[in-house]
């Protein structure tokens, strides 16, 4: 095997200290393998940003060494960044069948489909990528076709679990391959990277199968139409909705672009079994007898633009909620989304719907393993070294405690930030150094480091608005040519607003005149002085700090 | 009794279809009684707003009829609006001892203390306010001194529960007065207003007492200092913290203005028993041996400016978290606050603290009754008519279902919005008409209808920023005097930003010139044309819609 005596480097470019934008890197000598490339949705402090993806500077600086992108499964936080990655750095992609199908949809949208090398793998595949041999094992999760990855390197075996639970009664018969995992562990795992999403949760995550019985019960009880909102990517959940609809003699309409896409891909590739003639157009469904209708829709996280939210606001073009309809929200709100979901529930009740929601409804189970499953994985793999991944700090912290509890030595567990590197050289494993890592913000058509200045500006604008004052000054004699023109947006006046503006204008004129007389007429100095004077004045008067923008025009 | 044959009107001015800013109104003939006047915190869509209070237009229009403000208890969502109310419409205030103490703190801050008529009441008080007799009964909640209110009117008895649970083992020995409630119900309740906060939750809310044992356990296990973050107003919780600290030989420091205020008032009025010498300055506590220190702090909802958040970011002036300290978050995040709390937990772990948090920790119980307790109140009161209050729509909806289940007739249950009026006249009770109601936004020093325009502006500014272009035109001959001056804030450029600005300036000049030549020189028309042209141009180039502000200066 080539590359003997080379260093092995492992790092996260995204996915640690956060949930989202997963991207991991394994480098042996001159061979770099990338695992996943996901995206993340911004929280409310990142105003106007659409998407966040990992910073790939390290890969760009080492572009000749990058051999392949290996994708563990088709969720957005593992594939959402792929088009942006491949646009800058083409590389062959290895993924399972459904995962590949979902990646293809994205590449098509970005016009990259034709030029990308897509390679289908499954749990029996074996690859040789440079000095690293790669093999796989089946896991299960809230989407079919998930794989864990095994890297055989001269420095030992590294295992990356992908996302997983241990659902021993999977709806789609894709069992977690416990025997293969045990064999991998028996042969020896030097370093394990395992996902930490539910590391705070005691116990065992229930099987997807329990949802099916509750779904059917809800369908039977429903007097009129049934709307089910759930994650489009959870194909097993979709199958159970299809089954419940079939058993209650209902046709099924789909609302929401991602729902339509996933159903199409999943059905085509044989992951979703929908009886012939069952699917109906939303427009068609709107005219059927209500007890013969079921609708699968997006928006279970309360996303304002998605189908469920529009149905709740009677805003959907194709179909509307009527009194007596049943709406099932088969998902738990991800932290941050609770208020949006609550608002939708309120609106649905106002429309007279029956609403089934909340964790007590038993219409949703997590796709991630809880503490007992994480310990099971650790026990099967028996790693020498452990790197918890895919989680915010407290989740990584709890996962570390689980690893210590099953017997991994404390000083052999690494809690990394994005960019931190774990190195193995001559059998010695330690945390050593950093590579560049961070976030790239995608905004409209712009990709780039939008940077703190713009975000800070937006933040100030959003809190206190802006006040703009324009003064014109004669080029010839440096005299002020007119009264200042002062305009504000998003800035609240205290009662007497005209009076306030008059005072502002007076202050501007006096300040500017004084500076011109003192010949202190460097424009940037004058602008700064105006900003300071106005800022102080406005704060005293209103207790607000709008952005102040003095504009000086020379004519 | 005067006023026989007059109409009885009941309305909510705040508190229905929402959680917060509770304010209810009972009017018989020419006597108006106000129940509570709370405030509400804005959600993230109300940019830059500090506080929301109920719109009191109806009361101002009927100021001669307003007799009194009756306050059920001292939580912000029941007293937060009082200073703003009294500033515009002074009236005598009736409240229990602790409630009065908390109201006084607010009135002092607003300079209203001296001119307000404050009247202390308790569960034995009986008032005659115009044609209405008012009496009270003890309830319990997550603050001491809570009262329910009974209004005896010629149209029958109206009961307002205030906020309540049925904690039968209250830490502070303030029992819910079930016997008095039964007697009130036996004598006949015409209309019941009952709070709906936990109407979605099956079962019975556990007693506050269970927290004490778990707190003590956590204190005993703690090797170094213990920080407890909880709602300052939950005096029983504070008492249990004091007790746990005393039992583990710790002195107690207080962090956060509301914590210091509440402890002072509660202690002074005898609601909180702290052993002599136990309280310590934070600065003093910072120098004591760690196992002898406990700290009570604000910020359990993750509020960025409060003590807990600053401790987590190592940003507190007086004291810092050290590795091995224990931090207990004895509260569950109110929906909307989860992400802030999670971030704090992450940061505390990074600092090396032990963190006790989450619903599984059993260090928090709700102050509001669950379904069995709501049914108990309905059963005790046996009302003819029922108005669920204090909740978002789905909570009112579930409360209605509970009332139907215990036997209130469906057509005798009113789900109101703020401003909807229930009227009783000659014994006939029905929903009839509306009074003005809404929200007043408090922003800095400004109180007023900030209005949709300013908020919409801030929203646009926050998403896409602003682009300002200034052109100067000669008064004499209407010619453009200089190149446009174009500035942006919060607007992201795609790569070639100077190029974009050049194109913008060219477009502005061409458009303006063309309009001047066509003598279409009405400034507002020109501004609109410029806005449209620039808006379209920028969207094509960047897919963003910044606010566009053309400014025309005549010189």
Give yes or no for B465 touching A (CB within 8 A). Answer: yes
Per DSSP bridges, beta strands B466-473 and B547-554 are: parallel
Q: Which of A91, A7, A466, A398 is nearest to B48 (CA)?
A: A466
Residues 6+ apart with CB under 8 A from A444: A50, B492, B494, B542, B543, B544
Alpha helices in B272-370 (DSSP H): 282-285, 307-312, 338-350
- List C-alpha distances in Å: B516 to A63, A464, B470, B478, B484: 55, 35, 16, 7, 15
How is residue B420 written in tokens? 């909807």
As a whole number of Å, the end-to-end CA separation of chain A is 75
Contact: B462, A47; criterion CB under 8 Å: yes
Q: Does B336 touch chain A (CB under 8 A)?
A: yes
Mean model confidence pLDDT for chain B:
91
Tell me which chain B residues have a C-beta less than 8 angstroms from the C-beta of A443: 492, 544
Lowest-confidence segment of B125-139, B144-158, B483-497 by average pLDDT: B483-497
B32 strand-pairing partners:
B27, B66
- Token pair 């100067």 is at which residue? B472
In CATH, the architecture of A209-361 is 3-Layer(aba) Sandwich (3.40)
* Residue in the block written with tokens 């098509």: A108
Q: Which residues contact B539 (CB under 8 A, 6 or more apart)?
A: B545
Among A26, A21, A12, residue whose Cα is nearest residue A127: A26
Active site residue ranges of B:
195, 368
In angstroms, how far apart are the furthest CA atoms of chain A? 89
* Nearest-by-CA chain B residue for A43: B339
Overall average pLDDT of the B82-90 stretch: 95
Instruction: State whether A482 and B553 contact (CB < 8 Å).
Output: yes
CA distance A535 to chain B (A): 14
**Catalytic, out of A214, A368, A398, A399:** A368
pLDDT score, position B336: 81
* Of A118, A123, A127, nearest in space to A153 by CA: A127
CATH topology of domain A452-554: Ubiquitin-like (UB roll) (3.10.20)
What's the topology of domain B8-203+366-447?
Metallo-beta-lactamase; Chain A (3.60.15)
* ipTM exceeds 0.95: no
Q: Which residue of A has its CA nearest to B487?
A: A551
What residue spans of A51-155 are helical by DSSP H? 57-61, 76-79, 82-88, 97-109
Closest Cβ–Cβ partner in A450, A465, A495 for B461: A465
pLDDT digits (tens, 9 = 90+) for A227-259: 999 999 999 999 999 999 999 999 999 999 889
**Bridge-partner residues for B68, per DSSP?**
B33
Nearest chain A CA: its distance from B135 CA (Å):
35
Chain B residues in contact with A492 (beta carbon < 8 A): 48, 443-444, 446, 448, 450, 454
pLDDT score, position B46: 63
Query: How big is the CA angle at B40 (ends B35 and B43), to the nearest 5 degrees?
Result: 155
pLDDT at B41: 84
Q: Say if residues A10 and A158 touch (Cβ distance below 8 Å).
A: yes
> Dihedrals φ, ψ of A399, to 5°?
-65, -35
| Distance of alpha carbon B509 from the chain centroid | 50
Radius of gyration of chain B, Cα coordinates, nearest whole angstrom:
29
A551 contact partners, CB below 8 Å, separation of at least 6: A468, A469, A470, A471, B468, B470, B485, B487, B551
3-state secondary structure of A241: helix
Contact B309, B299 (CB under 8 A): yes
Q: Which residue of B has its CA nearest to A547?
A: B489
Q: Determine the distance in angstroms separating the CA of A272 from the nearest CA of chain B, rounded to an integer.
A: 35
Q: Tell me what pLDDT residue B456 has.
A: 66
Phi, psi of A511 (to 5 degrees): -65, -45
d(CA B468, CA B466): 6
| Half-sphere exposure (Cβ direction) of B296: Cα atoms closer than 13 Å | 32
Residue B55 burial by CB count (10 A; 0-12/13-18/19+): exposed, middle or buried?
A: buried
Window 266-295 of A, Cβ < 8 Å to B: none
- Predicted confidence at residue A484, as pLDDT, reads 86
Dist CA A464 CA A184 (whole Å): 59
Class of residue B234 by CB neighbours under 10 A (exposed 0-12, middle 13-18, buried 19+): buried
Give the strand pairing for A420-425 and A428-434.
antiparallel
Residue ranges of B 466-505 with Cβ closer than 8 A to chain A:
466, 468, 470, 472, 481-482, 485, 487, 489-495
Q: Is the pLDDT of residue B521 over 70?
A: no
Give me the catalytic one of A6, A18, A155, A195: A195
Domain boundaries, chain B: 8-203+366-447, 209-361, 452-554
Predicted confidence (pLDDT) at residue B426 exceeds the cutoff of 90: yes
The answer to whether A160 is a known catalytic residue is: no
Per-residue pLDDT of A277-290, as tens digits, reads 999 999 999 999 99
* Least CB–CB distance from B454: residue in A448, A490, A547: A490
User: For this structure, is A540 an active site residue?
Assistant: no
Instruction: Enumerate the H helices of A269-392 as residue ranges.
Output: 282-285, 307-312, 338-350, 371-381
B365 annotated to bind ligand: yes
User: Would the CB atoms of A490 and B549 count as touching at under 8 Å?
Assistant: no
List all residues of chain A from 12 to 31 with a beta carbon under 8 Å from chain B: 17
Res. B278: pLDDT tops 50: yes
Residues of chain A with pLDDT under 70: 1-4, 44-48, 443-456, 492-497, 519-522
């Amino acid at each position: 095997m080539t590359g003997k005596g080379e260093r092995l480097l492992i790092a996260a470019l995204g996915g640690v200290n956060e949930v989202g934008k997963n991207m991991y890197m394994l480098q042996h000598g001159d061979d770099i393998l990338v695992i996943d490339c996901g995206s993340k949705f911004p929280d409310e402090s990142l105003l106007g940003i659409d998407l966040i993806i990992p910073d790939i500077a390290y890969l760009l600086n080492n572009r000749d060494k990058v051999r392949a992108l290996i994708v563990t499964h088709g969720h957005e936080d593992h594939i959402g960044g792929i088009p942006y990655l491949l646009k800058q750095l083409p590389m062959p992609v290895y993924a399972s069948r459904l995962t590949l199908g979902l990646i293809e949809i994205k590449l098509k949208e970005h016009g990259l489909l034709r030029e990308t090398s897509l390679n289908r793998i499954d749990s029996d595949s074996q690859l040789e990528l440079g000095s690293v041999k790669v093999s796989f094992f089946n896991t299960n999760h809230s989407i079919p076709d998930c794989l864990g990855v095994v890297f055989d390197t001269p420095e030992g075996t590294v295992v990356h679990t992908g996302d997983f639970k241990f659902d021993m009664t999977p709806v789609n018969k894709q069992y977690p391959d416990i025997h293969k995992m045990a064999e991998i562990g028996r042969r020896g795992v030097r370093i394990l990277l395992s996902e930490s999403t539910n590391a705070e949760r005691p116990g065992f995550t229930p099987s997807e199968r329990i949802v099916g019985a509750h779904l059917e019960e809800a369908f039977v009880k429903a007097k009129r139409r049934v709307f089910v909102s759930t994650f489009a990517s959870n194909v097993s959940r979709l199958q159970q909705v299809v089954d419940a609809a079939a058993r209650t003699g209902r046709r099924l309409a789909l609302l929401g672009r991602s729902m339509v896409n996933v159903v199409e891909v999943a059905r085509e590739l044989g992951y979703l079994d929908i009886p012939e003639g069952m699917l109906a157009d939303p427009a068609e469904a709107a005219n059927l007898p209500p007890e013969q209708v079921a609708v699968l829709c997006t928006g279970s996280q309360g996303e304002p633009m998605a189908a469920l939210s529009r149905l709740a606001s009677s805003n959907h073009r194709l179909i509307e909620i009527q009194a007596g309809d049943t709406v099932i929200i088969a998902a738990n709100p991800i932290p941050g989304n609770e208020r949006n979901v609550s608002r939708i529930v309120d609106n649905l009740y106002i429309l007279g719907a029956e609403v089934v929601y909340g964790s007590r409804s038993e219409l949703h189970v997590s796709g991630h393993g809880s503490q007992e499953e994480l310990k099971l994985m650790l026990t099967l793999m028996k790693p020498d070294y452990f790197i918890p991944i895919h989680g915010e700090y407290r989740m990584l912290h709890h996962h570390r405690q689980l690893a210590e509890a099953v017997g991994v030595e404390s000083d052999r567990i690494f809690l990394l930030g994005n960019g931190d590197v774990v190195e193995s050289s001559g059998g010695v494993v330690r945390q050593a150094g950093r590579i560049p890592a961070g976030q790239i913000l995608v905004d409209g058509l712009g990709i780039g480091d939008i940077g703190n200045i713009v975000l800070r500006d937006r933040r100030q604008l959003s809190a206190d608005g802006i006040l703009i004052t324009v003064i014109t000054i004669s080029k010839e004699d440096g005299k002020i040519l007119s009264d200042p023109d002062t305009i504000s947006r998003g800035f609240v006046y205290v009662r007497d607003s005209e009076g306030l503006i008059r005072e502002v204008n007076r202050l501007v004129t006096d300040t500017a005149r004084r500076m011109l007389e003192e010949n202190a007429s460097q424009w940037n100095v004058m602008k700064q002085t105006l900003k300071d004077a106005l800022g102080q004045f406005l704060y005293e008067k209103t207790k607000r700090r709008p952005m102040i923008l003095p504009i000086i025009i020379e004519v």
